[in-house]
Amino acid sequence: MPTITLSVPEDLKRDMDELREINWSEVARAAIKSKVAQLKILKTISAKSNLTEKDALELGRKINKSLHESLAK
């Protein structure tokens, strides 16, 4: 299996060291696998989309505004 190296801030490393029972390599593998799956889905959806970049940004703004308003209640 290939190996990758990650850099983390010192304070995060200290926190990780305090949690020695956690398999941090497995946590990283799972996070990377999840992100790759999400990006593959996004790529599939965007390949079939007729939205322009401007349309997508506007839609994102509307979604963010709606989420903000619903969470503010």
Going from N- to C-terminal start, the domains of the chain cover: 10-72
Total-model pTM: 0.65
Q: Helices marked H in the chain — which ranges?
A: 10-18, 24-47, 53-72
> Where do we find the tokens 């939205």?
51
Q: Would you state the structure tokens that stand for residue 16, as one six-digit string?
A: 């990780």
Q: 5: pLDDT confidence band, cut at 50, 70 and 90?
A: very high
Tens of pLDDT, residues 21-65: 999 999 999 999 999 999 999 889 888 888 888 988 999 999 999
DSSP annotation string for 24-41? HHHHHHHHHHHHHHHHHH
